């Protein structure tokens, strides 16, 4: 392999590890927002947010269980949280459910929640009690615990 590998971030940007040199001819990445500028960037509601009234099924602080589903096709419910219990930390508003929307079966608007899963819930007693995983999950992925 010539040069160091490039890594893709969640936003699709490429970043190079600090201790390696980029391959000759590779595209130089740039920082979208510098740390000192982040507070001055106005918050924008992403276009995925729908402006429809839908009653939330869950409330902040409520315990929920990620459903143990195995759909044929697209889903944004990671297998490692299925059947595990987490806590609603935040309601992120109403969005289209990708599982139906991607196949042209309608937006199926519903609330998306930031759910906190304790690491020991996901990985057992050997996991650090201080760690947790936060996931944004649609209502169809959740049920009361």
Integer Cα distance of 33 and 45 in angstroms: 18
Are the C-beta atoms of 93 and 52 separated by less than 8 Å? no
Confidence (pTM): 0.68
Burial of residue 126, with CB atoms counted within 10 A of its CB: 0-12 exposed, 13-18 middle, 19 or more buried: exposed
Q: Mind giving me the DSSP string for 21-45? A: PBPTTPPPP--SS-GGGGGGSPP--
Model pLDDT for residues 65-106, shown as the tens digit of each residue? 999 999 887 789 999 999 999 999 999 999 999 888 888 888
């Amino acid at each position: 392999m010539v040069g160091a590998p490039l890594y893709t971030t969640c936003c699709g940007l490429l970043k190079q590890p600090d201790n390696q040199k980029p391959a000759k001819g590779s595209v130089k990445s740039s920082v979208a927002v510098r740390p000192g500028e982040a507070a001055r960037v106005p918050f924008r509601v992403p276009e995925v947010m729908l402006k429809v009234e839908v009653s939330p099924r869950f409330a902040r602080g409520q315990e929920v269980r990620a459903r143990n589903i195995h759909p044929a096709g697209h889903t944004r419910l990671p297998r490692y949280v299925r059947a595990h219990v987490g806590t609603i930390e935040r309601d992120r508003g109403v969005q289209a459910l990708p599982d139906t929307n991607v196949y042209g079966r309608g937006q199926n608007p519903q609330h998306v929640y930031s759910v906190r899963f304790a690491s020991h819930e996901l990985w057992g007693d050997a996991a650090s009690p201080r760690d947790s995983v936060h996931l944004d999950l649609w209502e169809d992925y959740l049920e009361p615990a």
